[in-house]
Structure 1
């Protein structure tokens, strides 16, 4: 994977959850009625996107072309 493509994917991975957690896009999930795992839907929505972003960044860390070059060197 080229560095430019990796950077584009990384920026999208970080930006999309950020945009979903701020006004006005947060209004999609700003409800208290459905309770999921004991949390109002709005809290569950925030925690879900934090965990998904964390998992995506871990995957991108493993796919990072610069990281692969550093591991291969002796």
Structure 2
């Protein structure tokens, strides 16, 4: 994967959850019911996107083309 493509994917991966947690897109998950794992849906929505972002960044870290370059110390 090229560096430019990696940086584009990284930017999209970090911006999508950011926008989904901001108004007006937060309105998708801004409701009190249903209760999931004892949390109102709006709290679950925020925690869900934090976990998804964390997992996506771990995958991107593993796929990082700059990590595999020769000469890194």
- TM-based fold match above 0.5: yes
Q: Which runs of 5+ in 1 are unaligned?
A: none
Q: Please report the RMSD computed on the Cα atoms of aligned residues, expressed in angstroms.
A: 1.5
- Runs of 4 or more above 2 Å deviation: none
Encode CA deviations 1:13-61: one digit per residue, 9 max, x unaligned.
Answer: 0000000000000001100010000000000000000000000000000
Q: How many corresponding residue pairs?
A: 73
- Larger helix percent: 1
Q: Which residue of 1 aligns with 2:24?
A: 24
TM-score (norm 2): 0.94
TM-score (norm 1): 0.93
CA distance in 1, matches of 2:49, 2:67: 25
